[in-house]
Amino acid sequence: MGRLIRSVLAAVTLAAFSAYWLSGFDAYTVFRSDGRLTSSRPPNAANGKVLFAAGGCFSCHASPSSPDRLHLGGGQPLKTPFGVFYPPNISPDPLDGIGRWTQVQFIRALREGTAPDGHSYYPAFPYPSYRHITPDDAADLFAYIRTLPAVSGRAPDHDLAFPYSVRRGLGLWKLAFLEGTAIDNDPARPANWNRGRYLVEGVGHCAECHSPRSLAGTIIAEKRLAGGPNLEGKGFVPNLTPDKTGLGEWSEAEIASLLKDGFTPEFDSVGGAMADVVRNTAQLSDADRMAIAVYLKSLPPIAGQSRSK
């Protein structure tokens, strides 16, 4: 009996160690990938430029020391309760950036959070939302980034508190929580609603900031887009649903207008991270900004913290 117990314990220990070891690498791609990593058409860099603005890529990846937001050398500190993340260089530099990446490697990183060498990215890189981007659009984004200046230099290593500094757990986190796939159009909805959903839930990753999170760091589904604590500092990120604590009294035109000029219906101007978001959404077309507004106003209202607090 004692030998049997020891054998069982050894097997359990080996299985646990194997799972722990796997979790630091491409476990999600091995077990749960939807396999959508190739584009069905030649890339369109012009569309990629629109997606680049909608996703606010320069907000995180622009070089802090450069006045040019298209210098994507990374290193802009992102302060969170888990520690400080330093987004990497995503310029076309072949040594320090993504200049040697293939299209498939880029799409896998964007949609599955897995680097070319197999390690998992921290979800501070919002791949849980980028899961909803189509492979065609991901390829377009890659094509546009490859037109930008190559920038040498690498961002500092992340400065994270234990146990978040242990990257190996990310593979298991993805296996447990990373889900969903590319957003397909709902034929029962108008075209601008479908476009708005795609921009809000996928490319724009609005829920990543505008939602509360569980202890595991995942978005709480029933409170999605209802506002939450500001992960980058003090304060509260506003409710984007049409509840009275959010956008309930705003018209679609007022929402679209804020995304262009940064002014609320009360003629206040947005500040902080949202001011940078507006710099990005101001580059979108009027039709895209209105599509975002149409989608947000269609959501079920969810009570959140009052904007006055």
* 229 band by pLDDT with thresholds 50, 70 and 90: confident
Residue 305 lies in a domain: no
Does residue 304 fall inside a structural domain?
Answer: no
CATH code of 203's domain = 1.10.760
The kind and range of the H/E element at 174 are helix 169-177
Give the chain's domain count.
Answer: 2
Same domain, 160 and 198: no
- Give tens-digit pLDDT for 129-148: 999 999 999 999 999 999 99
* Alpha carbons 277 and 258: distance in angstroms, whole number: 11
Q: Are residues 234 and 203 in the same domain?
A: yes
Same domain, 172 and 213: no
Angle, helices 252-261 vs 272-281, to 10°: value is 100
Residues 210 and 167 in one domain: no
Residue 306 lies in a domain: no
Domain match, 243 and 166 both:
no
User: Is the omega angle on the peptide bond into residue 163 within 30 degrees of 0, that is, cis?
Assistant: yes
Instruction: Give domain status of residue 309, yes or no.
Output: no
At residue 235 the predicted structure's pLDDT band, cuts being 50, 70 and 90, is confident
Same-domain pairing of 167 and 69: yes
Q: Which residues pair with 229 in a beta bridge?
A: 236
Range of the domain at 82: 22-177
User: Are 71 and 154 found together in one domain?
Assistant: yes
pLDDT in tens, 241-257: 999 999 999 999 999 99
Residue range 115-120: average pLDDT? 91
Residue 272 in any domain: the answer is yes
Q: Are residues 170 and 207 in the same domain?
A: no
Same domain, residue pair 170 and 196: no
Domain end position, chosen among 177, 204, 231: 177
Q: Specify the amino acid at residue 175.
A: L
Do residue 172 and residue 30 come from a single domain?
yes
Model pLDDT, residue 309:
43
Distance CA 133, CA 135 (A): 7
CB 302 within 8 A of CB 239: yes
Residue 267 φ/ψ region, left for φ over 0, alpha for ψ in the -120 to 50 degree band, beta for the rest:
left
DSSP letter string over 19-82? HHHHHTTTHHHHHT-----S-SS---HHHHHHHHHHHTHHHHHS-TT-S-TT-------EEETT
Do the beta carbons of residue 96 and residue 154 sit within 8 Å?
yes
Size (the chain), residues? 309
Q: Are residues 103 and 232 in the same domain?
A: no
Residue 183 lies in a domain: no
Decide if 306 contacts 250 (C-beta within 8 A): no
- Could you read off the pLDDT of 70-114 as tens digits, one per residue? 999 999 999 888 899 999 999 999 999 999 999 999 999 999 999
pLDDT band for 8, please (50, 70, 90 cuts): low
Percentage of the chain with pLDDT > 70?
87
Amino acid at site 25 = F
Whether residue 44 is predicted with pLDDT greater than 90 in this model: the reply is: yes
Q: Are residues 165 and 30 in the same domain?
A: yes
Task: Tell whether 182 is covered by a domain.
Answer: no
